[in-house]
Amino acid sequence: MSGDSFTFTIDGVEIPATKGQTIMEAADAAGIYIPRLCDVEGLRHQGGCRVCTVKAGGRSAAACTQPAAPDLVVDNETDHLNTMRRHLVEMLFQEGNHLCPVCEASGNCELQAMAYRLEMVEPFRFPGLEPCRPVDASHPDIALDTNRCISCGRCIRASADVDGKGIFGYVGRGIHRRVAVNGSDLAHTDADINDHAVSKQVCPVGCIIRKREGFSIPIGEREYDHGLIGDEGDSE
């Protein structure tokens, strides 16, 4: 083990890491928060949302997929990076219908929380795409509102890797790529309310809705209502 462990720095702080760890895994273990949307504990990394972009040795790289290296100098909380992250989150908002006041996930939503963290305080300067996608409420326990989807792929990975089912998958190309279910609708898949893919921590937004659980925690007392995302940990 001793031969495989080394240190590198994030924002000047020395971080221990072992061979094969990504920058984000090492940062999480050391209690340093790197913003992320498509990455969640327990699923393999995708590197799709690019919100975790850091400067690793002067080059931009996704911290969730970039392996840590000995003596690597990583910049995380810089104005430049946070501006780029804010742009990425703005673009996600513009690609979907993210109406926080009427959304059941408000307060539990990682996208909303990330917007607050990255100080996305200005109104959008460009009109959004305003997609109009049907809501799939066919399943007795689960509803799917893909208008709120940010295509993070967390449900896809959870369903394929953890549940071994492959209920969700990407369809389409480019801007038209979105998440679809493996069947005519959700009722015609083997989706179950106890799947990891439909558990609360997988969908970062309010796309996968667990029926009859809405507003069990009132708005104002939810996960990200008490502070910025990433600050609930030990230190920043």
Interface residues with other proteins (CB under 8 A) are 47-48, 50, 53, 60, 62, 83-84, 87-88, 91, 125-127
The residue (of 86 and 165) whose beta carbon lies closer to other proteins is: 86
Work out how close the CB of 123 gets to other proteins at its nearest, in angstroms, rounded to a whole number: 12
Where is 37: in which H helix or E strand?
none
Question: 219-228: buried (b, 16+ CB within 10 Å) or exposed (e) per residue?
Answer: eeebbbeeee
The residue (of 22 and 53) whose beta carbon lies closer to other proteins is: 53
Work out how close the CB of 129 gets to other proteins at its nearest, in angstroms, rounded to a whole number: 11
List the beta strands (DSSP E) in the chain.
Answer: 5-10, 13-18, 53-56, 59-62, 73-75, 142-144, 168-171, 178-181, 208-210
Distance separating alpha carbons of residues 46 and 30, to the nearest angstrom: 22
The residue (of 47 and 107) whose beta carbon lies closer to other proteins is: 47
Work out how close the CB of 87 gets to other proteins at its nearest, in angstroms, rounded to a whole number: 4
The residue (of 23 and 142) whose beta carbon lies closer to other proteins is: 23
Amino acid sitting at position 235? S
Kindly report the backbone phi and psi dihedral angles of residue 101, in degrees, each rounded to the nearest multiple of 5, phi listed first: -60, -30
Work out how close the CB of 126 gets to other proteins at its nearest, in angstroms, rounded to a whole number: 7
